[in-house]
Structure 1
Amino acid sequence: MTDTRPDANRARPEATVHRRRLLADTTPLREPHYRRLWVAGIVTVIGAQLSVVAVPQQVYEITRSSAYVGLTGVFGLVPLVVFGLWGGALADVMDRRRLITITTVGLVVTSLLFWGQAAAGVGNVWLVLGLFSLQQAFFAVNQPTRAAIIPRLLPGEQLPAANSLNMTVVQFGAIAGPLLAGVLIPTIGLPSLYLIDSIALLATLWAVLRLPVLPPTGPTTRAGLRSVLDGFAYLSTQKVLLASFVVDVVAMVFGMPRALFPQIANETFGDPASGGVALGLLFAAMSAGAVIGGVFSGWLPRVRYQGRAVVVCIALWGLAMIGFGVAVGLADPGGPFGRGGGGGRLLLWVALAFLAFGGAVDMISAAFRSTMLQQVAPDDMRGRLQGVFIVVVAGGPRIGDVLHGAAAYAFGTAVAAAGGGVLVVVGVAIACLVFPTFLRYRVGKV
């Protein structure tokens, strides 16, 4: 029976409009090339996240030490810095389709080498770390190239929605991958995770091969040191972009406790040393929060003061990591905040909730920072600045791995995680004092 009251019939479409504004904007998916990359990414990121769990887990299984797990940060950081900067310069002077094809093939081959050493049972931590460095070198060239392609496929007003969609897919994979890893490691073994990653990468290779030719739009000079320095010189004149990098470094270096997850899962929440469900949940929790944030990201394009939004999100991230560290300390029988006991499983879910909240606010922050870079930088500088961006986004957590591993060795996992959160809150406050322009940044105003 139809409700004949005028207000009732008008309320329904208004409610629908409000829901649409709240949910993710899928307009960018109408573009076929972007849609293929996005759909292929769903498969690829799940495989990639299996390796994200497999590498630190294999290192921990060989050494039984979070300090060695933290050492993956060093072996990942060096190629990220060198090849991230050089790869960004290459993306400004090369056909971007060709470059991303080469690096995707390199990632497939590296995953196969990971599988080979694990299946052979070599058990050499330095071989694992060496392969990890090679993988990160290909990743460091691939990612800035991929990010620099998006503004060539979509109009500027669709970039916030596209970045949100991209990050939602990445974080969805970061949920499914670790959860699958927690189930698959005890059943089919760790080597199979690397093999699945290799196969999943073929989906992205297919999407990349379907891209149009994307030649450079600026002068085709050599991608050498001078080109990289030109990118830094341009960045030094863009205080908003510089500040966005600084606050992300603060968040990821001091507030990313992932190197602690194998030890926390084993010693605090009762997983076997070879890995289990708690390990998968810890790795997946941040991504679960990020996916929720992405699904309800329809409001992001309407935010005008994006710098302020980033600062608020990073401060909330720091508070979430403080809560996570306290929960771990309470659950650990030998922890600094309590004695654990029967509430250990409940405290696991509390710790996961803090990680999920942190993941949600980090996704929002990352979407705004990506949009700032893509809108402010001209196309002939976009690759180089994306190279700096990938060094910051992926390199910051590598330094964080080293610091958290060392801090856990000296003070325990709970203090390392909670103390890092405190440093994030303090660090972002200092950054606001140094870069007041960042707080005033408004879309279209630099």
Structure 2
Amino acid sequence: MEDRTKDPVAPHDSQARRGPLRRGRSSTSPAPVDAVEGSARAEQPQPASSRARGLAIDTAPLRIPAFRRLFGGVAVTMLGQQMTLVAVPYQVYELTGSSLMVGVTSVVALVPLIVFGLLGGAIADAMDRRRLMLVTSVGAAVTSALLAVQAALPGDGHLAVLWVLTALVSAFAAVNQPARSAVIPALVPVDQVPAANALAMTIRQIGVIAGPLLAGLLIGLGDLFLAYAVDAAGFAVAVLLLRGLPALPPVGVIAERLRLGAAVRGVGEGFAFLRTQPVLLMTFVVDVIAMLFAWPQAVFPELSTGLFAGDANSLGWLFAGVSIGSLVMGLTSGWVSRVDRQGAVVLVAIAVWGVAIIGFGFASTLWLAVLCLAVAGAADMVSAVLRSSMLQLAAPDEMRGRMQGVFLVVVAGGPRLGDLRAGAVAAGFGVTAAMVSGGVLIIVAMLLIAVLVPSFWLFRASHTETSAGR
């Protein structure tokens, strides 16, 4: 693996903090008294309150002022972003009366997300990340404000204007998110990175659930303007919070080269680096497999108008199912922050996702379908937290932005490809076949990866340097 001595967070590596590994104690060497007492205490049963605290989400990173500002920025923007994700397709449908145009709008948003997600990662490795987050947050605030203005003008708006503004929103988000994720290891100690990711992802899930519900309420009242305005206000508050962060300049020789304007070459260097790191590469591969073969949203409309047509708001419950599970897991993710065998737990979590999707495919009642989706969402949350932590810890600082850019593209593109696969299979063979076949393929794929890529299965957070380079 590439030398990490240039990495400013390397001295805080969990192994360095613990000291050298014990090689085994001689049978003739007495154990220290404190070790014996500690062992005796460990064997005593823990009270229920202690076990509950161990399950609860780890809030230790929030004691760090810089991370608290970053977390606050995520919190205030997520609600508005999710409202915009509901308001835009609704407005497109109102303008055109065509579901096809709604689908085209999704592609309009996806293209800049892919392009600027990759370039944004390179940019995040080339300039001060605090400044980059400020610039993109200001851009997002202005764009959301323009969405609010066009919604307030007489008439229903113009499709071309909506598409341009949607593309801009997507582009700003694509540049902002890799920088926001890449700075976490610079703001918190290495052993708190998983907890920091769990906190950020949990607050996102709250936004994913609350945003669409609030947007639906406002849209029902005929107020698209306010739905967009909340998004603009959230980004404006985020700018104020981010201004208090310390400078986060790029690190290393690669950053110096990227300052010359070779952002595209920087993307190529990122992929070249990724090819030499099987563990990092597999964090993307396993997520693509999970989303491609078992992302279920494409079948929700068919189920809501067919099998579950008699259930009130079945479509809303189906769309909320995965996020409900993710939120519950996020709130009880204290144990995830302490996982050492991160690679093994990721593979198991994705296999559980596959099992849950199989159950969803066979579900004959709405409550059982939502329960299976919630289990799938909980497993996906575990996988997402650990995969993000593996990327942040195993990649050197000068590559973290680009790795997060690839992560963003995979996370955004995988579900859309999954919708295409699920819709096509469901149309030809039915919903059950689409979901069950995908779940089975995922389980088989995770078993094969565990055998064929042992470095991923054996990856330990406490041995980041040796594991990532195998």
* TM-score, length of structure 1 as denominator length: 0.83
Alpha-carbon shift at residue 178 of structure 1 (Å)? 2.3
Indicate the residue corresponding to 1:386 in structure 2: 404
1:132-281 map, 5 Å: 132-219=166-253, 220-222=256-258, 223-261=262-300, 264-265=303-304, 269=308, 277-281=313-317
Residue type at the aligned position of 1:104: S
Residues 1:145 and 1:294: Cα distance change in structure 2 (over 3 Å): same
1:355-366 map, 5 Å: 355-366=373-384
Q: Which of 373, 389, 395 pairs up with 1:377?
A: 395
| Deviations 1:239-295, CA, capped at 9 Å, x for gaps | 111111100011122322334545654666559xxxx95444333322221111111
SS in 2 for 1:211: coil
Residues 138-147 or 175-184, more deviating = 175-184
1:261-410 map, 5 Å: 261=300, 264-265=303-304, 269=308, 277-327=313-363, 330=364, 347-407=365-425
Residue type at the aligned position of 1:355: L
Residue type at the aligned position of 2:241: A
Contact 2:91–2:156, Cα closer than 8 Å, also in 1: no
Residue type at the aligned position of 1:297: S
Residues 276-285 or 144-153, more deviating = 276-285
SS in 2 for 1:93: coil
Q: Does 1:24 align with 2:24?
A: no
Alpha-carbon shift at residue 412 of structure 1 (Å)? 5.9
Residue type at the aligned position of 2:336: L
Quote the Cα distance in structure 2 between the aligned partners of 1:226 and 1:60. 40
SS in 2 for 1:214: coil
Quote the Cα distance in structure 2 between the aligned partners of 1:136 and 1:159. 26
Alpha-carbon shift at residue 417 of structure 1 (Å)? 4.6
Residue type at the aligned position of 1:365: S
| Deviations 1:53-111, CA, capped at 9 Å, x for gaps | 33344455556666554445533332222111111111111011111111112222232
Indicate the residue corresponding to 1:333 in structure 2: none
Residues 354-363 or 139-148, more deviating = 354-363
Unaligned stretches of 5+ residues in structure 2 = 1-42
Quote the Cα distance in structure 1 between the aligned partners of 2:48 and 2:86. 41
Residue type at the aligned position of 1:380: E
Alpha-carbon shift at residue 215 of structure 1 (Å)? 1.2
Q: Does 1:79 align with 2:109?
A: no
Task: Report the aligned-residue RMSD.
Answer: 3.0
Contact 1:314–1:362, Cα closer than 8 Å, also in 2: yes
Residues 1:101 and 1:174: Cα distance change in structure 2 (over 3 Å): same
SS in 2 for 1:161: helix
Residues 142-151 or 121-130, more deviating = 121-130
Q: Which of 57, 63, 68 pairs up with 1:35?
A: 68
Residue type at the aligned position of 2:60: T
Higher CA-based Rg: 2
Quote the Cα distance in structure 2 between the aligned partners of 1:365 and 1:300. 10
Alpha-carbon shift at residue 371 of structure 1 (Å)? 0.9
Contact 1:73–1:402, Cα closer than 8 Å, also in 2: no
Q: Following TM superposition, where does structure 1 have runs of at least 4 consecutive aligned residues deviating by more than 6 angstroms?
A: 10-13
Quote the Cα distance in structure 1 between the aligned partners of 2:101 and 2:436. 21
Contact 1:93–1:218, Cα closer than 8 Å, also in 2: no
Alpha-carbon shift at residue 191 of structure 1 (Å)? 4.5
Indicate the residue corresponding to 1:340 in structure 2: none
Q: Does 1:53 align with 2:86?
A: yes
Quote the Cα distance in structure 2 between the aligned partners of 1:122 and 1:268. 35
Residue type at the aligned position of 2:246: P
Residues 147-156 or 259-268, more deviating = 259-268
Residues 1:74 and 1:318: Cα distance change in structure 2 (over 3 Å): farther
Quote the Cα distance in structure 2 between the aligned partners of 1:28 and 1:80. 29
Residues 1:11 and 1:434: Cα distance change in structure 2 (over 3 Å): closer
Q: Does 1:91 align with 2:124?
A: yes
Indicate the residue corresponding to 1:7 in structure 2: none
Quote the Cα distance in structure 1 between the aligned partners of 2:231 and 2:162. 16
Quote the Cα distance in structure 2 between the aligned partners of 1:55 and 1:403. 24
Residues 1:300 and 1:15: Cα distance change in structure 2 (over 3 Å): same
For these two proteins, the number of residue pairs brought into alignment is 416
Quote the Cα distance in structure 2 between the aligned partners of 1:63 and 1:322. 36
Identity between Structure 1 and Structure 2 (%) = 50
Quote the Cα distance in structure 1 between the aligned partners of 2:228 and 2:168. 15
Unaligned stretches of 5+ residues in structure 1 = 1-9, 331-346
Residues 1:414 and 1:106: Cα distance change in structure 2 (over 3 Å): farther
* TM-score, length of structure 2 as denominator length: 0.79
